[in-house]
Structure 1
Amino acid sequence: MRRAIPLFIAPLALTACNQAKPLYVDHAWVRLAAVPGRPAAAYFTIHGGKAPATLIAVSADTAVLAQMHRSMQSGGVSAMAPIDRLPIPARSTVRFAPGGLHVMLSDVNPVVKPGGTMHLTFSFADGTRIEQDAGVIGAGAPDPK
């Protein structure tokens, strides 16, 4: 009987290893503006879960307004366009990074300083909400690793 127990446990352990992780957010950070009163920018990585999801909003506890944007290059000119919703395919990774997807944070509370954190809330079309703290860096600081 003792030899039979591992034979039953091993398949269960392997099944648990193959299950997809749930939808989650990591590597969140915020770059403050160089000029006071200008918008800050938030960056992060969204990892899709076992089903597709749609990001519909990101909010910050210390900013009056947060808007998702996409940066684009066309004919050597940079431009930004707002995004109302962003599909997150199942088992995928969507990265918000400088020069691409980002969240503009307007009217950031002046108590937010480099080395601190901002609390971000990610809202999805199915009602899912994910909360994540984001490290804050100054305008001229290198991107976090």
Structure 2
Amino acid sequence: MALGVAACTGPADLDVEDAWVRLPAVPGRPAAAYFTVQGGPEPRTLIRVTADLAVRAEMHETMSGMGSGGGHMSMRPITAVPIPAGQEVAFEPGGRHVMLFDLDRRAKPGATTLLTLTFDDGQRLYRKAWIASAASQTPD
């Protein structure tokens, strides 16, 4: 009976999980923030992300391309990311991410920063993001 009720409840609320920041390999360069957005019962669009330890933040997407010298990776800014109802959208190394510019000197491995995600309907979600070293591939 409980299983049947759970199946009828629909998607959970809009949420953000697994937020973390990788520091830059070269001091003074931007850091990158990663997280997963879990879509709620209605589709939404992520329109802005900020971090309390960064002066400026921009959403970016990494793309691979084929130039005359072979494959290469490039980034481009993105201004909006659709979040389908009930679906996960990942911001991860090698894909979508948030570039964090002019980090505060308190941004050190093991510390945290507060991310604010703003959606097209005005909703804001606040999540603590763990800060990891430049060599980290995961937040651990």
TM-score (norm 1): 0.88
- Displacement, 1:142? 3.6
Alignment RMSD (CA, Å) = 1.5
State the distance in 2 between where 1:98 and 1:142 align: 8
Find out whether 1:65 has 2:60 as its counterpart.
no
Give the strand-richer structure, 1 or 2.
2
Q: Cα distance, 1:60 vs. partner?
A: 0.3
Matched, 1:124 2:119: yes
Corresponding residue for residue 34 of structure 2: 43
Give the alignment partner of residue 108 of structure 1, picking from 103, 128, 135. 103
Give 1:143 shift: 1.4
Q: Are 2:19 and 2:127, in contact at CA under 8 Å, matched by a contact in 1?
A: yes
Deviation digits for residues 104-143 of structure 1 (CA, Å, limit 9, x no counterpart) = 0000101110011110000000011000000100101241
Stretches of structure 1 that go unaligned for 5 or more consecutive residues are 1-9
Structure number, greater radius of gyration: 1
- Unaligned residue ranges in structure 2 (runs of 5+): none
Q: Is it true that 1:18 corresponds to 2:28 in the alignment?
A: no
Deviations 1:89-111 (A, max 9, x none): 10100000000000000001011
Which whole-Å deviations, capped at 9, do the CAs of 1:27-76 have from their partners, x for residues lacking one?
Answer: 00000011111000000000001110000000000100000000000011
> Which structure: greater helix fraction?
1
Identity, % of aligned pairs?
Answer: 49
> Secondary structure of the residue that 1:55 maps to in structure 2?
strand
Alpha-carbon separation, structure 2, partners of 1:36 and 1:69: 20
Query: Hey, what does 2:46 align to over in structure 1?
Result: 55
Q: Residue 112 of structure 1: SS of its match in structure 2?
A: coil
Q: Give the counterpart of 1:79 among 55, 74, 78.
A: 74
Cα gap change, 1:87 to 1:142, in 2 (>3 Å):
closer
SS of the residue aligned with 2:106? Answer: coil
* Aligned length, in residue pairs: 135
User: Distance in 1 between the 2:21 and 2:86 partners?
Assistant: 25
